[in-house]
Structure 1
């Protein structure tokens, strides 16, 4: 049980950190990109929000299989398959949880007053310095919300994990899969304990995010993006 909990939180932590690294520049580019294809790109990136997890998991299973180009490349590089591995779970989780990191960051960057960057530029700040010293501090709330939502969503994964990871103890068996296994085995007492733990965890995460975001929807991630609002 402890190994399953540790594996679940390890997957959620690795996924959330990688998502912040990947999604922050992506969200910034999209927030400042004006093109008629923008809505199409945003729709593609948001697909995991509405796509049944088993559908996404099925296509990821095909993409990760040893017969695919990606699967063959990974097999040649590491000597192991991408499917039914922790690395495969991480890659699948990055795709599945991407909208939960992208949405608050994108909303925060869109609503950021760009005049601060103009002032920073007039004071001799480089573009990179402006992003690091102006944008990131002002968008602290969206960044924390993006991490929190990604973490919680990854902990609750089931369909995608089951399709590409299976149920290998110590390797791919996360809490949601272990819970399903307990229900199938009619071990309802242990299933109750797991379910209650996940329920309490999800509630605490959301309560903290709502509190941190001043009661606003955490997915908006728009609190405190303008210093004037603190006054």
Structure 2
């Protein structure tokens, strides 16, 4: 029988992971909804390129994303230097840096379900709303958004779960600073490297339980969405 150990550092790392996932998912909801709608409706030639860039994290190794973000956020680069001049501290190895990296890495896991949810709305419903005198913006917020709620929740849940399991990006951008950047996946790796398997098992089982609960919720939302489309 495994003698799992649940030290205070475990809950600190899990709490930081949950906070990172929650903040990243909220940011993804705010920027992902208008981006998904624009990608669905835009006729610009560059829209295909932007959609490809949004989807790139699905196939690009996380360490590649983390490496280039680390360079971009460096105080030696314009973006990093501007951040330091305004806030007085560098972006790498900070919680804010982790949020930026997580948002970029999980962007397709939010935007693609949002796009699918918007596409599932019958065009006749949108056309009817416009014919009744609603503006495109009013139609989007009063018709499209309410009917897309299950798809939106699925996208938020997927991005939350994806952030929970991040490793390469957060390792490159944040390292393993307790209480600041040492999320649960990094802590699990550290404990395994030290051959401290009881504590590593504890991290793994907590992450497994949270991930399982999120996936059950996503499956429930997707089933509700399918039922809604059939009715």
TM-score after normalising by structure 1: 0.91
Q: In the alignment, is residue 120 of structure 1 matched against residue 123 of structure 2?
A: no
Please give the alpha-carbon distance, in whole angstroms, between the structure 2 residues aligned to 1:124 and 1:36: 30
Please give the alpha-carbon distance, in whole angstroms, between the structure 1 residues aligned to 2:86 and 2:227: 45
1:95-174, aligned counterparts within 5 Å? 95-174=104-183
- Where does structure 1 differ by over 6 angstroms across 4 or more consecutive aligned residues? none
- Structure 1 unaligned spans of 5+: 216-221
Q: Please report how far the alpha carbon of residue 225 of structure 1 lies from its aligned counterpart in structure 2 after TM superposition.
A: 6.6
User: C-alpha offsets along residues 186-218 of structure 1, whole Å, 9 cap, x if unaligned?
Assistant: 110010111112122212211221122118xxx
What SS does the aligned partner of 2:223 have? coil
What SS does the aligned partner of 1:171 have? coil
- Structure 2 unaligned spans of 5+: 1-9
1:8 is matched with which residue? 17
State how many pairs are aligned.
222
What SS does the aligned partner of 2:15 have? helix
Equivalent pair of 2:17/2:183 in contact (CA under 8 Å) = yes
2:66 is matched with which residue? 57
1:218 is matched with which residue? none
**2:208 aligned to 196, 199, 203, which one?**
199
TM-score after normalising by structure 2: 0.91
Q: Which has the higher helix share?
A: 2
Segment drifting more, 113-122 vs 71-80: 113-122
Equivalent pair of 2:75/2:84 in contact (CA under 8 Å) = yes
Equivalent pair of 1:5/1:175 in contact (CA under 8 Å) = yes
Equivalent pair of 2:16/2:183 in contact (CA under 8 Å) = yes
Please give the alpha-carbon distance, in whole angstroms, between the structure 1 residues aligned to 2:191 and 2:87: 33
Q: Please report how far the alpha carbon of residue 105 of structure 1 lies from its aligned counterpart in structure 2 after TM superposition.
A: 0.7
**2:37 aligned to 28, 49, 63, which one?**
28
Segment drifting more, 123-132 vs 171-180: 123-132
Q: Please report how far the alpha carbon of residue 35 of structure 1 lies from its aligned counterpart in structure 2 after TM superposition.
A: 4.8
User: C-alpha offsets along residues 92-126 of structure 1, whole Å, 9 cap, x if unaligned?
Assistant: 11100001001111112223212212211222222
